[in-house]
Amino acid sequence: MKLTKQVFNNIELSNTIDRSFKEVKKEPDKISISKFFEQYRTLFFDIPNVGTESHQTLIDNSTEKIGIPGSTKDDEINRLSNKIIELETELANLSLNNDLTSLNQSLNEQTNLTNG
């Protein structure tokens, strides 16, 4: 029995064998939520305020996901603003009524003087 050995040079070997190790390639590690926030706190001041990778992008993405929560301060401001409008309207009506009453009294006095 005769054994033979076939020898390839480097170029021939590259053309014959796939050297990319696609099947042995390690998947990237998944980052946990706690690790994400740990990294976020570390990078917080390095993240730009605006841009594609920015605090504004994080806010926009989070707002899109969870919506804009109602602010109790905003609710209180709106309630108080409505109360101010209501009181201003009431005050204007009272002033108008007072002016009409005064005018009516003046007219009555004028009428009494003219008739009297």
**Tokens linked to 70:** 């109602």
Same domain, 113 and 85: yes
Element (H, E) at 55: helix 55-66
**pLDDT tens-digit series, residues 57-79:** 999 898 888 877 666 788 888 89
Q: Is residue 11 part of a domain?
A: no
Residue 18: inside a domain, yes or no?
A: no
3-state helix/strand/coil string of 23-52: CCCCCCCCCCHHHHHHHHHHHHHHCCCCCC
Residues 56 and 93 in one domain: no
Q: Which residues of the chain have pLDDT under 50?
A: none
55 and 78 in a single domain? The answer is: no
Residue 37 lies in a domain: yes
Q: Do 82 and 94 sit in the same domain of this protein?
A: yes
Same domain, 104 and 93: yes
Contacts of 57 (CB under 8 A, 6+ apart): 51
Segments forming the whole domain that contains residue 104: 70-116
pLDDT of residue 29: 77
Is residue 9 in a domain? no
Residue 12 lies in a domain: no
**Per the structure, how many domains does the chain have?**
2
CA distances from 24 to 3, 6, 19, 27, 35 (A): 32, 26, 11, 9, 26
**Is the domain of 115 the same as that of 98?**
yes
